[in-house]
Amino acid sequence: MQHHKKIYWPNLMVPKAAVYPHIRKVHNDTVQDDYYWMIDYFKKGEKAQEVIDYLEEENSYTNLMLEDTAHLQEDLFHELKSRIKEKDESVPYYKNGYYYYSRTEERKQYFKFCRKKGTLDAEEQVLLDVDQLAQGHAYYTAKGFSVSPDNRLLAFSVDTVSRREYTIYVKDLETGAIFPDQIRNTEGAAIWGNDNLTLFYTAKNPITLLSEKIMRHTLGSDPASDVAVYEEKDNTNYIAVGKSKNGKYIFINSEGTLSSEIWLLNADFPQSAFRVFQPRIHDVLYSVVVLEDRFLILTNDGAINFRIMQCPLDRTERIHWQIFLDHRPDVLISDIEEFKDFLAIAERKNGLTQLAIYNLNSHQQHYLDFGEVAYTVYPGINVEYNSDKLRYGYTSLVTPNSVYEYDMAEQRKVLLKQQEVLGGYDQAAYITERIFAIARDGVRVPISIVYKKGTKLDGTAPLLQYAYGSYGASMDPTFSSNRLSLLDRGFIYALAHIRGGEEMGRQWYEEGKMMHKMNTFYDFVDCGQYLIDQHYCISEHLYAQGGSAGGLLMGAVANIAPEQYHGIIAQVPFVDVVNTMLDDTIPLTTNEYDEWGNPNDEEAYFYMKSYSPYENIEPKEYPNLLVTTGLHDSQVQYFEPAKWVAKLRATKIGDAVLLLKTDMDYGHGGASGRFDYLKEIALEYAFLFKLEGIIPDYANEQ
């Protein structure tokens, strides 16, 4: 039973962080930072313990302020968990004579990675029991499963700290023995040469966490003697190693925001040297796939929304590139999935993804039809090159995650599996819409909306507005069984496709980064105002949520339009932009120069300073705020949200609630188990429900 109650916030002593003034002087600009000292736990400085004490004090305060939601949080956790099918299995995929899949068991947090030889009726072989491996660890992630070409060995990687530093192990699948070779400080993925002895992997700098070298390891040797086959000199680029689908090439990919470069090697001769495909060119991105007789190159060279070029296998320089599929100004080509006789090409048009199937023999092309106004579609696991069957994933705000197999020759699709929502889910009980808000500069910004039938659209319903808006990452409309707990309590959910993502093409991203970053924040605020103008909600019932770079968005929105939102949830927020971007010892900083700018440049410094949430806190009324972070976060360090909250506490006026919750065990992605993270969602939902007065009266329901 749901009750709207008067909200009661206990009158507690608010945590007060110590002030130790630190002066920053850059470009003749002097700034006093009273909370700079909170970096000391990360830097192992003299105030490290004081940092921990402060975070613990904030956690105690948050727990007390939300104490009256403890029952509700427990109920929400069980409600969220009850929709998850505990005993489940992924759709098997076929590779090199075996069917591979993972399966989960009841009351187990992790999974088992398995295979069957030749047929799905064959005996199961459990390759890795992650439930067993994770025992005794507060955090455990296993990934990067890579089986050797002879099917005998499994390389996999493990992180037990949540800083995305993986140790690679190799398991003999015939004997079950783990090789003594343990390769530390890696990105996780290990790629096999065709000799079943050589492994390539990406090594990380243990301090900056930047991927700097591609290493070659020979099975049975000491990892300390591994050979660097590639070293990245540009610290704004990320590097990775992979293998072509047909198994013939190993690729090294170096990519930044503005340029990329690929090196390749014949996988049959893994001890030989890599050669460059095409040396990097400023402002040119490219990626390649290999067919039987040529390479295809997806590039923005002379084409902002990308086009597909082709070149011979032995002449890969740009001078030999010929047009395969030309550029279209209204269509972004985002991905190619190659097969022997077909290509599946993922495109974006009007903010939605579409799949084009191209027949390499007839040169004919057709599109798949999905029949919903807002949806997400993406190529799935397609590891077999000699196949006419395309696996793809499909979901929308009302359609649970689905895996389809499409016969590209016969043009027929089959639903292989749809996420089962336990307890019953009636898709027809929910409505999804797609509208366009008009931003202040006249640009139309798409918003995907979902709500339960019967929800009043007269301004009285609470509405949660979500967005990300950075790195060209598109926030597509997807299904969430957890979100039902909001919708079933009368919330409307609105996903704003703001600039900084790539939903509307590459230009959409370009207009929301670097010296155009303010567009991202204004788009979000203008979408919120449009939702109010269209009577979906009023500001007293409007909430905002975002994480990481989307947490930067939350911080900026809190400064720009505090009166428009009743509450904001900022998850692991990147809110101290200037200080972080000035410190190249902080993980990932230099990789980010092409996204935010380099503050060593005066113009970039002052532009960043103009929007950085931490720098722009003012003595004014702010919305109610819940801020979450993780002590071991490798992407956005804990001290950013901690400093932001401390400064907000000391500066803001009014009685809006400000809560900081630090997870002392986890990092950027939260808990590793498949249920533990639900406690974080239960906390966030309880915060929203308390602000709305939607708390069951437990005393009267006993």
Selection from 367, 516, 365 nearest residue 441 by Cα: 516
Distance CA 48, CA 642 (A): 13
Q: Which two tokens stand for residue 463?
A: 């509405």
The values of phi and psi at residue 536, to 5°, are -70, -30
Cα distances from 239 to residues 33, 212, 245, 262, 524, in angstroms, run 35, 7, 19, 10, 32
Distance CA 218, CA 336 (A): 32
Catalytic residue numbers read 548, 633, 668
Distance CA 484, CA 396 (A): 13
Q: How many other C-beta atoms are found inside a 10 Å radius of the C-beta of residue 685? A: 26
Q: Which two tokens stand for residue 669?
A: 């992605």
CA terminus-to-terminus distance, the chain: 12
Residue type, 52: I
Q: What share of the chain is helix, strand, coil (3-state, %, to 5)?
A: 25, 35, 45
Which residues of 227-341 form beta strands (DSSP E)?
A: 227-231, 238-243, 249-255, 260-266, 275-278, 286-290, 294-299, 307-312, 322-325, 332-338
Asked whether the beta carbons of 510 and 499 are under 8 A apart, the reply is no
Name every residue whose Cβ is closer than 8 Å to that of residue 25 and which is 6 or more positions away in sequence. Answer: 31
Distance CA 445, CA 274 (A): 44
Distance CA 510, CA 269 (A): 41
Q: What is the dihedral of CA 556, 557, 558, 560, to 10 degrees?
A: 90
